[in-house]
Amino acid sequence: MNQKLTLAALLAASLAFTACAKKDDNATATTADASAAVASEQISAEQQAAIDAIDQPVLDENNTDVPEEVANAPADAATPDSAAAPASEAQ
């Protein structure tokens, strides 16, 4: 019983020290600087063409759940309008 109380006190103390510790703002500033650097980079036409060439779905005999014309259609054309959907599917 005494050991359990001691263990509980140690756990409570460690949680209290962790919660009351000073926050390190350097870590968040470094992360913000890194994400800002990535966001400010511009993607060239060659890079976008390479991304588009790689980012194509692989249609084989196992992919039968989505027809090819729907899989390769732009997102707006493939997505049905919510106004045209029946009331039971709109919810």
Q: How many CB atoms lie within 10 A of CB 28?
A: 10
pTM over 0.85: no
- DSSP class of residue 70? H
Q: Note whether residue 80 is domain-resident.
A: no
pLDDT tens track, the chain, 91 positions? 899 999 999 999 988 888 887 777 666 666 666 665 655 678 899 999 998 888 877 767 776 777 778 777 777 755 676 655 555 554 4
If one counts the domains in the chain, the total is 1
Find the angle CA(80)-CA(85)-CA(90) to the nearest 5 degrees. 105
Q: Note whether residue 83 is domain-resident.
A: no
**Which residues, 6+ apart, have CB-to-CB distance to 24 below 8 Å?**
none
Q: Where are the beta strands (DSSP E) in 1-91?
A: none
Q: Note whether residue 76 is domain-resident.
A: no
Residue 27 belongs to what domain range? 1-70
